[in-house]
Amino acid sequence: MELAILDSKTLGNDLDLTPLKKFGEVKNYETTSAEETLERIENVEIIITNKVVITKEMMQKASKLKLIAVAATGMNNIDLEGAKELNIHVKNVAGYSTSSVVQHTFTMALYLMGRVNYYNHYVLDGSWSDSNLFTDVSKPFGEIAGKSWGVIGFGTIGKEVAKVATAFGATINYYSTSGQNKINDYHHYELEELLTRCDIISIHAPLNSSTENLLNSKNLSLLKEKAILLNLGRGGIINEADLAKELDSREIYAGLDVISKEPIEKSNPLMQIKNKEQLLITPHIAWASIEARERLLDSIVKNIQNFLENEKLLQDDIN
């Protein structure tokens, strides 16, 4: 059996892929362009992909293809209806990155709230050495304790963030983007009131028709002065041009791990803002702790194993 990994670079060079070899010959491609995809999948039975787009037309020409193992939770890069019509199985992985995303949420919050960038540079540029004080409080910072933390998107990750924020001493409020998660121990507010009330707001929602452009010029102005806004859901939930204007018009802070077009374009308005100390952007890494990536690979291996076992059982029944 032949397997092809289409974008192994997204999994990291530090991940040991040898467990996949027990299924057969593994062709490992660090990246795969749209022009290269068909050639790389047309003669293999199993493909593993994170973000490479697989169309119905490609699948029709890949006559040996039996399984698409998605190295992620989201499957929007796969034509699922086309796969179903062609009897090609698609298996994703859920829940592997929850701890990693929750941790990164608080990494970003603490970095911005603690003015870590300012104080790190204060030391490294020699300013502390040149001072006559053992400390420096020129850039006031606050505590999470006693603050109101708002969560937008109250699924598994949002609920875990709420638990940790509660441990820090924050009061939790939330807005359910689906309208389905309103029975729990925290208070639900509509979006506008949540933005008005909360000191810290973190987004953990999918991108869909209900969340696209959810935060924009009409409601970003509702954020409290010195509020912190974090997006660890999907790019496109926040209008980036509107956020850039808001960051340059007053003192609010934003931490973004996701951008509407990734990698971020140099022309993105967020790359041009004047108040750069109020913005933290990381390159879509919240999901990617080494432990999360190891769990992801383990689940991919299990998905392939389960598929092959089911195939064998089906074949035995036929025989």
Question: What whole-number percentage of the chain has pLDDT above 70?
Answer: 98
Query: Is the peptide bond between 269 and the residue preceding it cis, with omega within 30 degrees of 0?
Result: no
Q: What is the pLDDT of residue 181?
A: 73
Lookup: tokens for 178: 């689906």
Average pLDDT for 2-20: 96
SS3 string, 251-290, reads CCEEEECCCCCCCCCCCCHHHHCCCHHHEEECCCCCCCCH
Res 319 pLDDT > 60: no
Instruction: For residue range 97-149, list pLDDT tens digits in order.
Output: 999 999 999 999 999 999 999 999 999 999 999 999 999 999 999 999 999 99
Q: Is the model's pLDDT at 274 over the cut of 90?
A: yes
CA dihedral 159, 160, 162, 166 (to 10 degrees): 140
What pLDDT, on the 0 to 100 scale, is given for residue 290?
98
Catalytic entry in 40, 104, 284, 293: 284
pLDDT at 176: 93
* 25 is a catalytic site residue: no
Name 129's Cβ contacts closer than 8 Å, sequence gap at least 6: 123
- Amino acid, single-letter form, for residue 283: P
pLDDT at 92: 97
pLDDT in tens, 146-164: 999 999 999 999 999 999 9
pLDDT band at 311 (very low <50, low <70, confident <90, very high): confident
pLDDT, residue 248, reads 98
Instruction: Please say if 89 is a catalytic residue.
Output: no
Domains and CATH numbers, the chain: 2-95+290-318 (3.40.50.720), 98-281 (3.40.50.720)
Q: Name the active-site residue from 262, 265, 291, 309.
A: 262
pLDDT tier, 182 (very low <50, low <70, confident <90, very high otherwise): confident
Q: Are 70 and 91 in contact (CB under 8 A)?
A: yes
pLDDT band at residue 180, thresholds of 50, 70 and 90? confident
pLDDT score for 316? 64
285-306 confidence digits (pLDDT tens): 999 999 999 999 999 999 999 9
- Catalytic (active site) residue 104: no
pLDDT (tens digit per residue) in 190-236: 999 999 999 999 999 999 999 999 999 999 999 999 999 999 999 99
pLDDT in tens, 85-100: 999 999 999 999 999 9
Q: Annotated catalytic residue: which of 234, 240, 293, 295?
A: 234
Q: What is the mean pLDDT of residues 273-283?
A: 98
Q: pTM here?
A: 0.94
Determine contact, residues 281/2, Cβ cutoff 8 Å: no
pLDDT band with cut points at 50, 70 and 90 for residue 241: very high
